[in-house]
Structure 1
Amino acid sequence: MTRVNTVLGTIPAAELGIVAIHEHIGYGMPGSELDTQWWKSPEQAYEETVPKLRKFHEYGGRTFVDVTGICNGRDPNYYQSLSAKTGVNIIACTGFVGGDTALPHFSRATVDYLAKVFIHEITVGIGNTGAKAGVIKVGVSRGGKMTELDRRIYRAGARAAVVTGVPILTHLAIDPEPAVAIFKEEGLDLDRVLFGHADDGLNAPITPHDYIYEQGGRIGFDTFGYDLELPDPPFWGRKRTERVAHFKRLVDKGYTDKLMVGVDANCSPLGWPGVKGHTVNYLFEDMIPDLKAAGIDDQTLHHLLVDSPAEFLGMKN
């Protein structure tokens, strides 16, 4: 039986239950904590976050995968408190959302150094918190093409994944060819990589879904809920029906075993107001009903939300 690192300890993957696969407790760009317009007290963050996680648990959600990354507001001590308070398993990550979010200490580091950091956070823990990372985050910097720093981070992530057996989640699925090349060079099975945000309004048209599938990678439809129908939609929004129809097309092509779903929640945004009307509970309140209405049956939904995440998140070493 494979096991998974949560912030409160390592548990069997079979105990993860329904998983929100690509989410954030509180995400912000480096330096946002210095902007007094956006300062939040711990009490304010709790007030925003605890009710959302409690509702998630009431709906049947059991595991929240936080892919905030180093330098973007990751706070394992806070996650531990939230997990104990709400009963939701929280999986923290090591790695970076993208090279452009890595502060100079890390952006100047070698691949070997970065890999050692990632491995330490997975096998020993993050700082002195006792929380071990359960996934690795890597990403493409703004601009849509992998930078030299992005490539270093991807290579370090691949090495850490091979050593530890934890999976990788990417920020964006665009420009995947160099990522695939790096992962193959490092001996990482592409089944251990979830190429994220393949469904968002900006990137879906330029994401090579078939190529990722043919290479053996997993495809993340993880921005459900960022709909153009919102009162003030984000620039990465997409028409709700268009996203669902796109997802159903991939299911009908036989891609189900490589598909994973999430809502890219940001429970208490850092340094920006967030997107009103969108929470992790979109998963239960809208996404599942929409997928059922599109003809996706309960067995497939269970696979997408329970079986596939457990298989993906379980450490292979």
Structure 2
Amino acid sequence: MNKRQQQLWLFLFLLPCLGIASCQATYLQTVTGAVSKKEVNYTLIHEHATTNFIGASSVTLPPDKQPAITTILPHLQIVKAAGVTTLFECTPSFIGKDVVLLQELSKQSGIHIITNTGLYAAVRQKYLPPYAYTENYKALAQRWIDDFKNGIDGTGVKPGFIKLGVNEGPIDSIETKLLLAAMETSKQTGLSIAVHTGDYQSALSQYQLASKQNFPLRKLIWVHAQNATNEQRKLLAEKGIWISLDGVSETTRQYYVEAILFLKQHKLLHRLLLSHDDGWAVLENGSYHQLELFGNGNKTPYSTIHRFILPELLTKGVTQKEIDQILRHNPISCFGLKR
């Protein structure tokens, strides 16, 4: 057999495998099941329904979901009418994450809602359970992998991403352990890691750890990258990390427009994610009867991007194709899973 025949034989041998790989469908894991990328239009990648700030040791989920549904559902219906099909609900474990509520909101609104697994060490570790300190990173990862395979807390609802929270400055030992656990979970499941990040120094240390671990940077999201400079965002975006500008509000919208234009200028819109970080605080532990809208500068939650940001971007030279890139294609590229 000559060299050309050997090459042809090898190609024919590998062809079925290549066909299987090319046919792998991309999907998002939502609270009601998997949805294909064809079902996804505009996506808000960092929002909240209800969040309980009382602390990990005391938080109790309300059995009656209806008061929260009554409050939140009309706002989901408004953004759905504006073209939003998908919303990532970023409330972490032990801060009031209620996947049963999210399921019902998704069913009634028709919006695909994605929940998370992981742990949140920001705010002086107020929201960490005891096992976060005693278990090693592999044990923590196994908890999160079980969530993905079997569902969260016996509900059958599976997470579509990993949510962590870290403080300002270089990540400490507990934050490092959580990030190692998240990277292990990602390797086993394909889930991307969204890290609430205190400042640029924290983001930089996350990048350094991920690089040391040979972790694919396309699976790492710098949450709250608005709390940095254009040049700092540019540096890590060029490394391959996702830049999440997720505090859009009516009062700060000009800042976000300018940040987006800077990324456009440097051909980095393909690394950008955009959202509001809106939601409601639970004022009475164990009940949804008293909810207070976050004081993020948005009188109407989830809507400022479509009401103000997009129209202004179009007047500043951002094309409709680029808007589709930011709000539709980037979330799929970032969070999409393969069957």
TM-score range, shorter chain: 0.7 to 0.9
Partner of 1:235: none
Partner of 1:305: 327
Partner of 2:164: 138
Instruction: Choose 239-248 or 79-88, whichever is displaced more.
Output: 239-248
Deviation digits for residues 224-251 of structure 1, max 9, x if unmatched?
11x5x3xxxxxxxxx4323311221111
Contact 2:59 2:95 in 1 (8 A): no
Cα separation, 2, equivalents of 1:242 and 1:81:
35
Cα separation, 2, equivalents of 1:185 and 1:205:
25
Deviation digits for residues 244-293 of structure 1, max 9, x if unmatched?
11221111111111111111121x22248422614112221122123223
Contact 2:76 2:111 in 1 (8 A): yes
Cα separation, 2, equivalents of 1:87 and 1:192:
27
Cα separation, 2, equivalents of 1:58 and 1:166:
29
The DSSP-based 3-state class of the residue aligned with 1:178 is helix
1:14 to partner: Cα distance: 2.9
Cα separation, 2, equivalents of 1:12 and 1:115:
26
Q: CA distance change for structure 1 residues 34 and 167 in 2, over 3 Å: closer, same or farther?
A: closer
Q: Which amino acid aligns with 1:301?
A: I
The DSSP-based 3-state class of the residue aligned with 1:166 is coil
Q: How does 1:286-305 map to 2 (within 5 A)?
A: 286-305=308-327
1:16 to partner: Cα distance: 2.0
Partner of 1:196: 223
Q: How does 1:237-256 map to 2 (within 5 A)?
A: 239-256=252-269
The DSSP-based 3-state class of the residue aligned with 1:11 is strand
Partner of 1:162: 187
TM-score (norm: length of structure 2)? 0.81
Partner of 2:10: none
Cα separation, 2, equivalents of 1:32 and 1:44:
23
Deviation digits for residues 81-130 of structure 1, max 9, x if unmatched?
11111101000001123352212232433211111111111122101111
Cα separation, 1, equivalents of 2:132 and 2:53:
15
TM-score (norm: length of structure 1)? 0.86
Runs (5+) with no aligned partner, structure 1: 230-238
Cα separation, 2, equivalents of 1:207 and 1:186:
25
1:179 to partner: Cα distance: 1.0
Instruction: Choose 172-181 or 257-266, whichever is displaced more.
Output: 172-181
Verify: 1:176 aligned to 2:200, yes or no.
Answer: no
Cα separation, 2, equivalents of 1:106 and 1:220:
26
Cα separation, 2, equivalents of 1:217 and 1:270:
33
Partner of 2:132: 106
Verify: 1:270 aligned to 2:290, yes or no.
Answer: no
Contact 2:260 2:269 in 1 (8 A): no
> Which one of the candidate residues 79, 85, 97 is aligned to 1:62?
85
Question: Bigger radius of gyration, 1 or 2?
Answer: 2
The DSSP-based 3-state class of the residue aligned with 2:277 is coil
Cα separation, 2, equivalents of 1:293 and 1:109:
52
Q: How does 1:14-163 map to 2 (within 5 A)?
A: 14-31=38-55, 42-99=65-122, 100=125, 101-141=127-167, 143-163=168-188
Cα separation, 1, equivalents of 2:231 and 2:139:
31
